[in-house]
Structure 1
Amino acid sequence: MYFFLSHLSSCDLLLTSVIVPLMMNIILRTKESISFFGCITQFYLFGALATTECLLLAVMSYDRYVAICNPLRYSLIMGLPRCIQLSFWSWFLAFSVMLTTAVQMGRLDFCGPNVIDHYFCDLAPLMQLSCSDTTFLEVHNYMTGLPATFIPLMYITATYISIFITILRIPTKIGRQKAFYTCSSHLTVVSIYYGTLVIVYLFLSKEHPLYINKLLSLLYTVVTPLVNPIIYSLRNKEIKIAFSKLVYKCY
């Protein structure tokens, strides 16, 4: 679990590094520009890292599934070579899939306004600025976005159904609580991340107001990477004690 958490933390760190520094610069200076190549690069890196997080969350659900449903073989199944393979393919597939979308975005013609009504170079605001026909890009986004988003989500759902069935079969109440506690943090992160991601990229079209897109985008670009360490750290007894002391001192 901690091996995959390190990859998830690295992905969150890179995701915020791609978005937040330039966003804060624009907000503080109120006027800032980004080159076309820089904008497409930011769009590509952001999309690739967001997809990587989807795949890593699916891999972590598999890790929790093996730990709860097949605990006696956990060390054998989830050895270091298997963990390295799963993490490698998560990064590689995400960056490979997103490359095709970024190339298609770079081929669009932008001959009108050059002001992006968004915090960063995202899909919807860039398509609104383009004077080209974006039908092909929208279809391409659905063809690549649906598998990259829904296949991991469906897999996570299937694994947690199996996990919950296994937990309900545990005879003791303490055993059920302990088993559920091991996957509660991951389930919370999945709910927050996938909830906003699915709404923004699969249900909000370019005809919807961009302020809704911008508000939801802040959740998975800033809020989710911020709360992920907090959610997982609350399982640590030392951090719980330190947090309790801090709250006690404040009051």
Structure 2
Amino acid sequence: MSIAVVQFGGSNCDLDILHVLKDVLGADAELVWYKEENLDRFDGIVIPGGFSYGDYLRAGAIAARTPIMNSVKKQADAGKPVIGICNGFQVLTESGLLEGALTTNNYPKFRCEPTYLRVETTDTPFTSMFRKGDILSIPIAHMEGNYYADEPTLASLERNGQVVFRYVDRNGNATDEANPNGSRENIAGIVSKRKNVLGMMPHPERASEEVLGSSDGLKVFRSMLEYISSR
């Protein structure tokens, strides 16, 4: 199997993800520049965090309109797993691959800190190795991570089991105090209706080795690789 790690101008977590995939998990992964128009040779795609094009216009807006995103959409339509992390989540909403939008944090400052997440569903290619209700320690690093969707969309996400991660306290309670950015319903990550496209604001690649303080994020990538192997 082979995983594409997409690079835009301004990506800054691409090498971190490449390290986790190749050096920690032993997967075949490579960096792919945004001008690439054919991703057929890859079995999965990761869109990393960073500040693509300096967040000009809106975070993720320019990256969502680059040539490679047409191929990302094609691979997603074919059922291949796609993960967008932080800025990658913003790119996925801007491109229409995921519902809703990411807006400025309710306290309009960049926040870089550990957060607790609760696993809301294991019925996805990215969470199959977790148990529902697991509490994870995974850091955030963003200024525009405030997830917004209107009421009908939120109801649909809940009804279809598309909410994957929710911000909680260490005891698993989804409180206002545990919500670092004001996201509606404490949402930290969602999947598409087919569940093969995941967007999440926290950085699992920064919690994939114990030396970093947590390895809770590693199962996100392990689940993805297991899903690919089973296809």
What TM-score does the superposition give when structure 2 sets the normalisation length?
0.26
The structure having more radius of gyration, on CA atoms, is 1
Q: Which has the higher helix share?
A: 1
The answer to which structure, 1 or 2, has the higher relative contact order (CA under 8 A, 6+ apart) is: 1
